[in-house]
């Protein structure tokens, strides 16, 4: 099976961690014979200089045609007003409704903050961040000069589709879905979200559903993160809780994400473009490497190609092997290794 990946190397540390990630993907290709066809397309500051747009039409067409996308972080602060945010356009044009963020303790026991192995399914199209066309490009508006109102949109359809992804994942994992909500106060909106989740739960008798209020969830994560398997929640709660879970698992440099829709998926690290360390070759590429692994697994499951699923697991194992040696740690983890030294260690671990 020949699949294509569109690679968008972004701004700031983006090009450095993209090169590292492609080095690892190439090693996986050699070992597993994946038959991936990779092509790079311009975005961000480099694209602006070359084409006049931070998201040129050629790139827009390429991401739709590709089977999967690797999107490195972009630095929208550096763009002139009116230039598109590539990350937002990719999400919208491919209808990526699920923001999937695993939080896995990968560092050696002495260096980790918590025992944690969960995956968060965050609804990515509505909630408080929804419908940016609602009020003059925003989901909020000024009722008077002194009163601001924000509108939170929850629909049965969007709640059902994110819940279905979460239950499918739990059925393949440890069989527990935790739905996080605030239905005690937000009775109508989170009430509707919970109703949709419960309806999906009835399709998955082998998966257990528990419901936890969001403030309690923030505490539970700190106290006993290990008990969670799959967490499903609305947009803003997921934004906040996934940062908390990511920090417990080892921090930004290790936090991967997959943005998935029904036909497309995009590998994207949780962190930003880190302009403060760009160009120094010291950024941690692990988050983007692990995001690429999530994409390969998604493609493998979708196209029933076991080599891709095996490659994803092997990349994760190779990252663990590299992280087991403090000499391979980048500066954010307290080490002195460069971006490419880490990538080389991961690629080497993939050989055996």
One of 125, 234, 284, 305 touching ligand ATP (CB under 6 A) = 284
Separation between Cα atoms, residue 243 and residue 164, nearest integer Å: 23
Q: How far is the CB of 243 from Mg ion (least distance, A)?
A: 8
310 is known as an active-site residue: no
Q: Treating both helix axes as pointing N-terminal to C-terminal, what angle do 339-349 and 286-302 enclose, rounded to 10 degrees?
A: 40
* Both tokens assigned to 26: 């190439």
User: Which part of the chain contacts ligand ATP (CB under 6 A), choosing from 140-148, 192-200, 268-276, 310-318?
Assistant: 268-276
Reduced to 3 states, what is the DSSP secondary structure of residue 193? helix
> Does the annotation count 263 as an active-site position?
no
Q: Is 276 annotated as catalytic?
A: no
Kindly tell me which of 191 and 281 has the beta carbon lying closer to ligand ATP.
Answer: 281
* Residue 194: CB minimum distance to ligand ATP, A: 30
Among residues 10, 246, 253, 272, which is the contact residue for Mg ion, using CB under 5 A? 272
Q: Is 316 in the site for ligand ATP (CB under 6 A)?
A: no
* Count of Cβ atoms closer than 10 Å to residue 259 Cβ: 26
Q: Tell me: does residue 255 bind ligand ATP (CB under 6 A).
A: no
Q: Is 151 in the site for ligand ATP (CB under 6 A)?
A: no
Taking CB under 5 A as the binding criterion, the range among 75-83, 86-94, 134-142, 270-278 that sits at the site for Mg ion is: 270-278
| 250 bridge partner residues | none
Cα dihedral sign, 315-40-34-292: positive
Minimum distance of ligand ATP from residue 251's CB (angstroms): 8
Quick check: 250 binds ligand ATP (CB under 6 A)?
no
Binding of ligand ATP by 289 (CB under 6 A): no
Exposure of 75 in the CB half-sphere (CA atoms within 13 A):
17
Length of the chain: 352
Contact at 8 Å (CB) between 321 and 21? Answer: no
Q: Using alpha carbons only, what angle is made at residue 250 by residues 248 and 255, rounded to the nearest 5 degrees?
A: 100
Q: Which of 249, 274, 323, 350 binds ligand ATP (CB under 6 A)?
A: 274
Active site residue 325: no
Q: Alpha helices, DSSP H only, in the chain?
A: 14-32, 44-51, 57-65, 86-93, 156-172, 189-201, 214-224, 235-249, 286-302, 306-323, 339-349
φ and ψ at 17, to 5 degrees?
-75, -25
* Closest C-alpha among 84, 4, 18, 6 to residue 45: 84
Distance CA 284, CA 266 (A): 19
Q: Determine whether 64 is an active site residue.
A: no
User: In this structure, what token pair is assigned to residue 202?
Assistant: 């009835």
| Site stretch for ligand ATP (CB under 6 A), options 155-163, 187-195, 197-205, 267-275 | 267-275
Using alpha carbons, select from 261, 258, 264 the residue that is nearest to residue 102. 258
Told to check if 273 binds ligand ATP by CB under 6 A, we report: yes
- Judged by CB under 5 A, the stretch of 72-80, 171-179, 269-277, 283-291 that binds Mg ion is 269-277
Return phi, psi of residue 339, to 5°.
-55, -50
Q: Spell out, one character per residue from 58 to 97, where the chain touches ligand ATP: x when CB under 6 A holds, - when not.
A: ---------------x------------------------
Binding mask 99-138 for ligand ATP (x = CB under 6 A): ----------------------------------------
Of these, 91, 164, 271, 345, which contacts ligand ATP (CB under 6 A)?
A: 271
Q: In this structure, how many other beta carbons lie within 10 angstroms of the beta carbon of residue 10?
A: 29
The answer to whether residue 196 forms part of the interface with ligand ATP (CB under 6 A) is no
Stretch that binds ligand ATP, among 45-53, 157-165, 256-264, 275-283 (CB under 6 A): 275-283
Binding positions for Mg ion, rule: CB under 5 A:
272
> Which residues lie near ligand ATP (CB under 6 A)?
73, 252-253, 271-274, 276-277, 283-284, 287, 332
Any idea which residues carry the catalytic annotation?
A: 129, 182, 215, 239, 243
């Amino acid at each position: 099976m020949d699949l294509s990946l569109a690679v968008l190397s972004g701004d700031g540390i983006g090009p450095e961690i993209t090169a590292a990630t492609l080095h690892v993907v190439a090693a996986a290709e050699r070992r597993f014979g994946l038959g991936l066809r990779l092509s790079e397309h311009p975005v961000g500051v480099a694209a602006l200089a070359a084409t006049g747009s931070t998201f040129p039409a050629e790139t827009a067409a390429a991401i739709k045609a590709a089977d999967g996308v690797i999107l490195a972080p972009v630095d929208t602060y550096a763009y002139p007003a009116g230039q598109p945010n590539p990350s937002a356009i990719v999400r919208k044009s491919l209808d990526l409704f699920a923001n999937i963020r695993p939080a896995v303790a990968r560092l050696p026991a002495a260096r980790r903050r918590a025992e944690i192995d969960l995956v968060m399914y965050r609804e990515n199209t509505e909630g408080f961040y929804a419908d940016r066309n609602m009020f003059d490009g925003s989901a909020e508006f000024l009722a008077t000069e002194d009163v601001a109102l924000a509108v939170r949109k929850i629909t049965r359809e969007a709640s059902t589709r994110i819940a279905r992804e979460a239950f499918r994942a739990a059925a393949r994992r440890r069989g527990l879905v935790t739905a996080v909500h605030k239905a005690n106060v937000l009775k109508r909106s989170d009430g509707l979200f919970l109703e949709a989740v419960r309806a999906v739960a009835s399709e998955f008798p082998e998966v257990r559903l528990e419901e936890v209020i969001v403030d309690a969830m923030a505490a539970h994560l700190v106290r006993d993160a290990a008990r969670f398997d799959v967490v499903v929640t609305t947009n803003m709660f997921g934004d906040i809780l996934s940062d908390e879970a990511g920090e417990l698992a080892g921090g930004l440099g290790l936090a991967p994400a997959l943005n998935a829709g029904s036909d497309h998926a995009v590998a994207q690290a949780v962190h930003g473009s880190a302009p403060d360390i760009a160009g120094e070759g010291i950024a941690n590429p692990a988050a983007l490497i692990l995001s690429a692994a999530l994409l390969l697994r998604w493609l493998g499951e979708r196209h029933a190609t076991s080599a891709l699923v095996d490659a994803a697991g092997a990349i994760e194992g190779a990252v663990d092997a590299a992280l087991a040696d403090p000499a391979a740690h980048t500066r954010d983890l307290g080490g002195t290794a460069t971006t490419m030294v880490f990538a080389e260690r991961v690629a080497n671990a993939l050989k055996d």
